[in-house]
């Protein structure tokens, strides 16, 4: 049997998904099931004067209408689960249904339950809510000004927390030869998973058990939070996510909707289903990013970066979503120096509430915001010095012999060879030739540009002790159970919760490699709190790094026990037993041995086991990582800009990533492509915009430019392999690298193309009109 580790094994899950046989939450149909439809605020900020539900209740088929005051006494507030340390964070009381004030367009005020979804939707239109509209604020920096309306009366200046790290750097900046300053706007993004959110809740009054099927990236976190909110003990609350159609962070949070659905199911004694529309997804599912950043970089005249200082206003929206406060702090601020050895750094983050959709993690979560900032600043610094941006990078990258490397914020980068990925990328692009072409094309009035991003990110979140120290209200270890059946086939239970990433396949590959059995004989089960004791879910590129490591540990326990049984059966000492390719043998005695499957059967028959051994063959392991892992790489974008229209054409894109050991190169490639598309989408196309009244003016795919496949060239990818030294599989995580690295590479390339016109920066997304306006303001070409 071929060893499948490192092979491009086809994804096991795809057969059912592409044939429409997936089991998404909306596919669930239960006897007696009824349907919920939310009534949402059309105002960004208003007092609720009155709610009249009579007309809605009168519609035949309507079973109930619940409003905020119905839930108030029995349903708790929707909490946040990340409290950054030393930030004096104030909570934003978030009722499942608003009862006196609405704080963003989309805030839920009532729910209608009806026999069918169409009646529920019709009746929702009949719920009469009288609002007294109030002034709104949408921009995070402006929201902190003194004359602005408050989102929560208990939060003065709309600053929910102020988090800062690093020493006062005034002296360093004053003494420095060169200081570069720039303001960046990280625009807001709409995650837009292909499957909208949904929930089905069923309550069994006899057993007092509640089952909630929902679109979640982390069913156990959902269970923990919902247990508190609903007052249902965890042993009577089951959360299930069979297939989930993408999340990108937007399905981490515990939302009001699933809580309301569970409340209604219990109140009515009937299963209740709710599925959001795409329009609701735009306004009521968490958004990503949205910072205003004021950045300063200090360096020497010959190209050494000495310090970086950042003040960031992070827009959190109307309420603090589940992981929201951790994103612009821990996941952003602690890695601002990027892949560079910058001796001094400091960061100030204002977590600001506004009358907008809550913001939470979105692919990369914090690290794209940090990477964009540092990669853009390195280019601006190089430009200031009239040096080549590649030269400045080479001078400042952390050299491979410095690992493990402790960054100015105390993070320990595990391993790296940053020059190696840059070298490989430069080979792939033929940089000197590009510069020559650029020069001659400029003379013809054609503008091409090249942009680099030599990034590092942190993932595989993370040691639980660190989780606690940084205020995450959970552990960040992972669990795995390997159950070997009497026939020798295996079921794996993982506490991670893949929703498109392909771990049903990669995890089977790990087990196949370690136990020497075909991948077809291994089933990976995830996403059900009744089948998996505990876990923390899938986000932060942690699934293979942490969940895979737990799986490896559990498998090692299986091998250890099986080896003892084999030794007993073969009547040899344990140290003489060999195990290779699913076969137990005896060192030095060819032909003497037994298969793994027959050991499994013996374990279950238990007719003759070693003295004192328990029957069966099953092991559970809990892996608590020793550190984060730090994938890195060098990305290069080549663009051409049409000065007459402002169009940016991506000519080539080269991604050289080092994500440690690779279990399935095809899946890794797919993750990189998907990440690139999202990252480049941020650079060039996507941007959610609110007007002054807090209305989302990019509220559909007619206006919100979701990138299409035809917008991109064939990506050119390559890898170097620097295993993580502390991870048992040597893996580093790949889910977010593309989205983290690509945005600044593309913007750097466009700025390089426009350099002859003296253009330094354009706020993302670099739409044709903005690019053309920038050129036009410089007097055109």
Partner 1 sequence: MRTAPFEYHRAQDLDDALEWLAGDGDRDVKILAGGHSLLPLMKLKLATPTVLLDVQDVPELRGILLESGWVRIGALTRYVDLTRDATVGDSLPLLSQVAATVADIQVRNRGTIGGSLCHADPAADIPAAVLALDARLVLVGPRGERRVNLDEFTVAPFLTVLEPTEILTAIEFPIPLQSQQSTYLKRPHPASGYPVVGVAITGDASPHEPLSNVRVAVTGIGPKAYRAEKTEGTLKGQVPTPELFRAAADVAITEANMSDEPDLSYREQLTRVYVERALYQFYGGVA
Q: Which two tokens stand for residue 98?
A: 């608003």
Nearer to partner 1, 178 or 705 (CB): 705
> Which residue of 27, 115, 122, 523 would you call a contact of partner 1, by CB under 8 A?
122
Name the 3-class secondary structure at 290.
Answer: strand
Secondary structure string (H, E, C) spanning 209-249: EEEEEECCCCHHHHHHHHHHHHCCCHHHEEEECCECCCCCC
Give me the residues paired with residue 580 across strands: 583
Nearer to partner 1, 53 or 192 (CB): 192
Residue 689 sits in the site that holds partner 1 (CB under 8 A): no
Q: Which two tokens stand for residue 525?
A: 């089960």
Nearer to partner 1, 36 or 524 (CB): 36
Q: Rounded to the nearest 5°, which phi and psi values hold at 508?
A: -65, -35
Name the 3-class secondary structure at 407.
Answer: coil
Could you tell me which of 550, 531, 553 has the C-alpha nearest to residue 542? Answer: 550
What does DSSP assign to residue 322? T
Using CA atoms, how far apart are residues 398 and 479, in angstroms rounded to an integer? Answer: 34
- Which residues, 707 to 726, sit near partner 1 by CB under 8 A? 711
Residue 176, C-beta contacts closer than 8 angstroms, at least 6 positions apart: 298, 299, 300, 306, 307
Map residues 406-445 to x or -, x wherever contact with partner 1 holds by CB under 8 A. Answer: ----------------------------------------
- Strand ranges (E), 443-485: 447-456, 478-484
Please report how close the Cβ of residue 289 comes to partner 1 at its closest, in angstroms. 19
Nearer to partner 1, 298 or 754 (CB): 754
Nearer to partner 1, 413 or 685 (CB): 685
Nearer to partner 1, 184 or 685 (CB): 685
Residue 520 sits in the site that holds partner 1 (CB under 8 A): no
Question: Pairing mode, if any, of strands 305-315 and 344-352?
Answer: parallel
Beta carbons of 699 and 687 less than 8 angstroms apart: no
Residue 701 sits in the site that holds partner 1 (CB under 8 A): yes
Nearer to partner 1, 556 or 698 (CB): 698
Question: Pairing mode, if any, of strands 583-586 and 577-580?
Answer: antiparallel
Residue 704 sits in the site that holds partner 1 (CB under 8 A): yes
Beta carbons of 639 and 749 less than 8 angstroms apart: yes
Nearer to partner 1, 72 or 278 (CB): 278
Q: Rounded to the nearest 5°, which phi and psi values hold at 738?
A: -60, -45
Q: Could you write out the DSSP letters of every residue in 45-114?
A: SEEEEEEE-HHHHHSTTEEEEEEHHHHTTTS-PPP--B--TTS--------SS-SSEE-STT-EEEEEEE
Please report how close the Cβ of residue 557 comes to partner 1 at its closest, in angstroms. 52
> Which residue of 340, 413, 653, 685 would you call a contact of partner 1, by CB under 8 A?
685
Please report how close the Cβ of residue 681 comes to partner 1 at its closest, in angstroms. 10
Q: Which two tokens stand for residue 281?
A: 């997804």
- Which residues, 751 to 780, sit near partner 1 by CB under 8 A? 767, 769, 772-773, 776
What sign does the CA torsion over 504, 547, 494, 677 have? Answer: negative
Beta carbons of 162 and 348 less than 8 angstroms apart: yes
Nearer to partner 1, 606 or 701 (CB): 701
Burial 681-714 (b: 16+ CB within 10 A, else e): bbbbbbbbebeeebbbebbeeeebbebeeeeeee
Map residues 177-206 to x or -, x wherever contact with partner 1 holds by CB under 8 A. Answer: ------------------------------
Residue 274 sits in the site that holds partner 1 (CB under 8 A): no
Count of residues touching partner 1 (by CB under 8 A)? 20
Nearer to partner 1, 172 or 705 (CB): 705
Please report how close the Cβ of residue 466 comes to partner 1 at its closest, in angstroms. 41
Residue 235 sits in the site that holds partner 1 (CB under 8 A): no
Using CA atoms, how far apart are residues 214 and 198, in angstroms rounded to an integer? Answer: 6
Please report how close the Cβ of residue 713 comes to partner 1 at its closest, in angstroms. 16
Nearer to partner 1, 112 or 467 (CB): 112
Please report how close the Cβ of residue 772 comes to partner 1 at its closest, in angstroms. 6
Residue 145 sits in the site that holds partner 1 (CB under 8 A): no
> Which residue of 702, 714, 758, 779 would you call a contact of partner 1, by CB under 8 A?
702
Nearer to partner 1, 332 or 685 (CB): 685
Please report how close the Cβ of residue 119 comes to partner 1 at its closest, in angstroms. 8
For the chain, the C-alpha Rg in angstroms (whole number) is 27
Residue that is written with structure tokens 């055109």 in the block: 780
Residue 648, C-beta contacts closer than 8 angstroms, at least 6 positions apart: 639, 640, 641, 642, 684, 746, 750, 766, 768, 771
Please report how close the Cβ of residue 451 comes to partner 1 at its closest, in angstroms. 20
Please report how close the Cβ of residue 277 comes to partner 1 at its closest, in angstroms. 8
Beta carbons of 214 and 258 less than 8 angstroms apart: yes
Please report how close the Cβ of residue 19 comes to partner 1 at its closest, in angstroms. 19
Please report how close the Cβ of residue 699 comes to partner 1 at its closest, in angstroms. 11
Using CA atoms, how far apart are residues 727 and 548, in angstroms rounded to an integer? Answer: 10
Nearer to partner 1, 90 or 770 (CB): 770
Please report how close the Cβ of residue 640 comes to partner 1 at its closest, in angstroms. 16
Residue that is written with structure tokens 């003489």 in the block: 576
Map residues 100-119 to x or -, x wherever contact with partner 1 holds by CB under 8 A. Answer: ------------------x-
Please report how close the Cβ of residue 700 comes to partner 1 at its closest, in angstroms. 8
Beta carbons of 735 and 671 less than 8 angstroms apart: yes
The CA-atom distances, in angstroms, between 371 and each of 118, 376, 463, 739, 740 are 46, 8, 23, 10, 7
Nearer to partner 1, 121 or 595 (CB): 121
Q: Which stretch binds partner 1 (CB under 8 A): 120-128, 256-264, 421-429, 738-746?
A: 120-128
> Which residue of 23, 121, 620, 693 would you call a contact of partner 1, by CB under 8 A?
121
- Which residues, 596 to 655, sit near partner 1 by CB under 8 A? 644-646
Nearer to partner 1, 40 or 220 (CB): 40
Please report how close the Cβ of residue 284 comes to partner 1 at its closest, in angstroms. 17
Q: Which stretch binds partner 1 (CB under 8 A): 50-58, 250-258, 447-455, 699-707?
A: 699-707
Let me know if 261 is exposed, middle or buried by CB neighbors in 10 A (0-12, 13-18, 19+).
Answer: buried
Please report how close the Cβ of residue 623 comes to partner 1 at its closest, in angstroms. 43
Nearer to partner 1, 547 or 643 (CB): 643
Q: Which two tokens stand for residue 737?
A: 């690298």
Using CA atoms, how far apart are residues 454 and 437, in angstroms rounded to an integer? Answer: 23
Which residues are near partner 1 by CB under 8 A?
118, 121-122, 125, 644-646, 685, 701-706, 711, 767, 769, 772-773, 776
């Amino acid at each position: 049997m071929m060893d499948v580790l490192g092979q491009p094994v086809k994804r096991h899950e795809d057969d059912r998904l592409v044939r429409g046989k997936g089991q998404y939450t909306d596919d669930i149909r239960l006897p007696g099931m009824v349907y919920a439809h939310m009534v949402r605020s059309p105002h960004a900020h208003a007092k609720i004067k009155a709610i009249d539900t009579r007309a809605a209740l009168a519609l035949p088929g309507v079973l109930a209408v619940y409003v905020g005051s119905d839930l108030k006494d029995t349903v708790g507030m929707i909490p946040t689960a990340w409290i950054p340390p030393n930030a004096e964070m104030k909570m934003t009381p978030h009722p499942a249904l608003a009862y006196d004030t609405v704080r963003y367009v989309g805030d839920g005020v009532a729910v209608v339950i009806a026999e069918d979804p169409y009646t529920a939707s019709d009746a929702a239109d009949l719920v009469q809510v009288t609002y007294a509209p109030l002034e709104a604020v949408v921009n995070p920096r402006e929201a902190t000004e003194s004359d602005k309306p408050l989102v929560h009366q208990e939060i003065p200046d709309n600053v929910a927390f102020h988090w800062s790290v690093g020493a006062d750097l005034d002296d360093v900046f004053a003494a420095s030869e060169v200081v570069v300053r720039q303001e960046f706007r990280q625009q807001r993004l709409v995650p837009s998973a292909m499957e909208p959110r949904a929930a089905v809740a069923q309550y069994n009054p006899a057993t007092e058990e509640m089952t909630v099927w929902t679109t979640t990236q982390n069913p156990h976190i959902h269970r923990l939070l919902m247990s508190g909110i609903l007052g249902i003990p965890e042993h009577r609350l089951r959360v299930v996510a069979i297939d989930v159609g993408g999340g990108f962070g937007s399905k981490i949070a515990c939302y009001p909707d699933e809580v309301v659905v569970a409340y209604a199911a219990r109140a009515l004694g009937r299963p209740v289903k709710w599925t959001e529309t795409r329009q609701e997804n735009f306004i009521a599912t968490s958004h990503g990013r949205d910072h205003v950043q004021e950045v300063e970089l200090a360096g020497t005249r010959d190209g050494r970066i000495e310090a970086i200082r950042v003040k960031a206003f992070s827009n959190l929206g109307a309420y603090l979503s589940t992981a929201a406060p951790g994103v612009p702090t821990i996941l952003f601020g602690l890695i601002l120096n990027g892949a560079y050895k910058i001796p001094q750094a400091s960061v100030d983050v204002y977590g600001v509430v506004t009358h907008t959709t809550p913001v939470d993690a979105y692919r990369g979560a914090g690290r794209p915001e940090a990477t964009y900032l540092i990669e853009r600043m390195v280019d601006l610094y190089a430009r200031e010095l009239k040096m080549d941006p590649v030269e400045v990078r080479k001078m400042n990258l952390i050299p491979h012999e410095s690992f493990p490397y402790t960054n100015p914020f105390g993070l320990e980068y595990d391993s790296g060879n940053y020059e190696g990925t840059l070298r490989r990328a430069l080979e792939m692009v033929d940089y000197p030739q590009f510069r020559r072409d650029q020069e001659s094309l400029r003379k013809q009035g054609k503008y091409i540009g090249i942009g680099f991003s030599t990034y590092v990110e942190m993932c595989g979140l993370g040691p639980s002790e660190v989780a606690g120290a940084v205020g995450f209200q959970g552990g960040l270890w992972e669990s795995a159970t390997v159950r070997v059946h009497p026939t020798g086939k295996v079921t794996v239970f993982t506490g991670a919760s893949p929703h498109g990433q392909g771990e049903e396949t990669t995890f089977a590959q790990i087990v196949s490699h370690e136990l020497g059995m075909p991948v077809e004989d291994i089933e990976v089960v995830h996403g059900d709190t009744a089948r998996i004791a505990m876990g923390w879910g899938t986000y932060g590129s942690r699934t293979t790094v942490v969940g895979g490591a737990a799986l490896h540990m559990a498998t090692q326990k299986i091998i250890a026990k099986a080896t003892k049984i084999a030794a007993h059966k073969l009547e040899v000492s344990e140290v003489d037993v060999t195990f290779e390719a699913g076969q137990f043998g005896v060192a030095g005695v060819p032909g003497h041995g037994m298969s793994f499957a027959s050991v499994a059967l013996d374990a279950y028959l238990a007719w003759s086991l070693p003295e004192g051994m328990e029957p069966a063959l099953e092991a559970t392991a809990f892996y608590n990582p020793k550190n984060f892992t730090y994938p890195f790489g060098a990305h290069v974008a080549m663009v051409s800009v049409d000065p007459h229209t402002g169009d940016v054409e991506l000519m080539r894109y080269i991604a050289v990533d080092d994500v440690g050991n690779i279990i399935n190169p095809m899946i890794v490639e797919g993750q990189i492509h998907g990440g690139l598309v999202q990252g480049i989408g941020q650079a060039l196309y996507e941007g959610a915009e609110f007007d002054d009244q807090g209305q989302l003016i990019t509220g559909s795919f007619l206006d919100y430019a979701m990138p299409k496949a035809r917008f991109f060239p064939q990506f050119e990818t390559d890898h170097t392999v620097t295993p993580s030294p502390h991870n048992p599989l040597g893996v580093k995580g790949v889910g977010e690298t593309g989205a983290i690295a690509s945005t600044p590479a593309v913007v750097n390339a466009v700025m390089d193309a426009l350099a002859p016109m003296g253009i330094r920066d354009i706020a993302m997304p670099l739409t044709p009109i903005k690019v053309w306006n920038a050129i036009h303001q410089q007097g055109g070409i």
